[in-house]
Structure 1
Amino acid sequence: RGLNMMVAGLADLARSNRAATADLNAAAAEIRASAQEQAASVEEQFAAVQETAATVDEITHSGAQISKRASEVIATAQATAKTSRQGLRAVSDTAQAMDAIREQAEAVAGNIVGVSEKTQAIGEIIESVNDISERTHLLALNAAIEAAAAGESGRS
Structure 2
Amino acid sequence: GKSHRLSCDHKAEDPSEIKRIEQAGGFVLRNRVLGILAVSRSLGDHGMKDFVIGRPHLSEFNIKIASTEVEHAIFPFVILACDGVWDVLSDQEAVDIVREYICKNSTSNTNLNELSDTAAQMIVDEAMKRGSTDNISIIIGWF
Query: TM-score range with shorter-chain normalisation?
Result: under 0.3
TM-score of the superposed pair, with normalisation by structure 1: 0.15
Structure of higher RCO (CA pairs closer than 8 Å, 6+ residues apart): 2
- Rg larger for: 1
Higher strand share: 2
TM-score of the superposed pair, with normalisation by structure 2: 0.16
